[in-house]
Each structure stands twice: as structure tokens, then as C-alpha cells.
Amino acid sequence: MGEQASGRAIPAAPPAPQGKGSAKKAASRPAAKPSAAKPESRLAMVRRARRINRELAEIYPYAHPELDFRNPFELLVATVLSAQTTDLRVNQTTPALFAAYPTPEDMAAAVPEELEELIRPTGFFRMKAKSLLGLSQALRDDFGGEVPGRLEDLVTLPGVGRKTANVVLGNAFGVPGITVDTHFGRLVRRWKWTEQEDPEKVEADICTIFPKSEWTMLSHRVVFHGRRICHARNPACGACPIAPLCPAYGEGETDPEKARKLLRYEKGGRPGQRLSPPPDYPGLPAPPLGDPAP
């Protein structure tokens, strides 16, 4: 995805919508030189990747997990529910779910049909209910009702794979990890950090580029960028602060004014995905289920 063009100059990015000086830096940054026939070296790629991460840290200083949760159990359940749906829809669904089943013991004893009805808005509700019942029973019976803080334990739970485990470890336990979701995978391939398609191979490649201390926040920043600016079908290239570092520049809209209209969530002046965002989030909270967005 996104072959590097030959002989095409990549213009400096237009001012960023937000981000602690990134707009000023992006506007003053010289245009990238036309790409040469010589392929990018491993060292050059690593340097470019780390610079992108630094830029994203300035653009999204408030990057965070976009699932509402108050404890490891809630994050685990919300992450399982997030498969094949949006974090927004999960966040709109979980308040009633956790009011009914606040602990693993409560959820383990749930009537399947009642649990299914509560999570129906997230889609695939029968399969997800089976996973939630299974993981809750395992937490009750095998882990004393507590979510374990080790990857090798988490992946033994029904419905919990490596991606879900890394989300929980990184955001509930502070254990660094790369979370390879759809957005993360397509952006790191677009940026030529890896050519792998398999999530575990993508994770392995990216772990060799960045220090372990960066893994969790890198995941948030890349996902934020993918949801807000670097869309799958029509990326807002003309409004992207890291355009000069992107080998796929030009795949999307390059006109600055048209590109700004493609920005989403807080970058586009609209609500984010969390009903209860962190205090430093600069956008609007999402509306509850059934309420229209402002």
C-alpha cells in the first residue's frame, strides 16, 4: 500500500489543526527532496520512523485508549466487545453492562440471553457473550476473580488474543506492548516500517524499531492518526503534519482546504469516541447510546 513515487517532490505539510507547535514546525519545514532510485536503508527508515513518532507525540499529546474503563476487568471486557465495531459503540454499551455485571463473578453467573441483549449493539453478540461468560468464569475459577497481569495468562482466557492482551497490559498494568489493530497495521505498512500482514509479525517488526518504553504510547498515537487524519480510503494528506515524512503522500486529498474537511473527531471539531474522556482531551465527549451527536 502506498508505493513511494519516483521524481515527485513532497510538499511541506499545511499547518496542523492542533499539537504544541507542530503546526508552526510543519509550515516552516522544507519540502522533502524527490525520492531517489536507491532504496531507503534500514538505518534511514528507523530514523524516519522515530521522527514520525516524535511528531505524533506533539500532534497528539493527549493520545489515550479510546475505550471507557475504570479497572482491568472493564478494559478487558470492553476490548473483547470492540471486535468488528467502533470504540464509540462499545462505550455507549458498557455503562448498562457494567451496572448489571460489575465483577467477573457477577458476569460469570449471567443468564446468557440477558447478557446477549445488553451487548447486542456491538454486533456478533452471541459469540461475544460466549467469550465474556467464558473469560469471566476463568477469572473466577482460575485467577481469584482478578485479571492477571501477564500475557501468557491473559491469552488463555476465552476470546482473548495477543492484541487484546497487549491492550490490557499496556493500559491497565503499565506493561509496554504494541497493539496491532486495523489502523496500526495499515499505517505502519503505509509508512514502510514493515511489509508484513500478519499482526504478530507486524508487532515483531515494530518492536525492533522503537525502545520498549515507547511501545504503548506509539500504539495510541498511530491509531489516533489513523482515525483522525490518515484514513484508509481517502487520507487527508493536505492536512497532515507529517506529510514530508510519508512515502505514501498523495494517496489521498492533497488540497489543504479539501483535506481539512476530511478530519475526524476533535481534529474536525466533532465528538470523540469516549463518553468519559481524560481531563486533557481537547475534544467533545461522545453522546450516550440513542442521543444524537451535537
Q: What positions carry a catalytic annotation?
A: 163, 181
Q: How far is CA 154 from the centre of its chain?
A: 20
- Tell me which residue has cell 504544541: 20
What's the rounded Cα separation, in Å, for the pair 194 and 34?
22
Task: List the end-to-end C-alpha distance of the chain, in Å, as a whole number.
Answer: 35
Measured CA distances, 92 to 36, 83, 89, 258 (Å)? 49, 15, 5, 31
Amino acid at position 203, single letter: E
Task: Find all residues with CB under 8 Å of 150, minimum gap 6, and list them.
Answer: none
| Residue 34 contacts residue 49 (beta carbons within 8 Å) | no
- Round to whole Å and give the CA distance between 50 and 57: 11
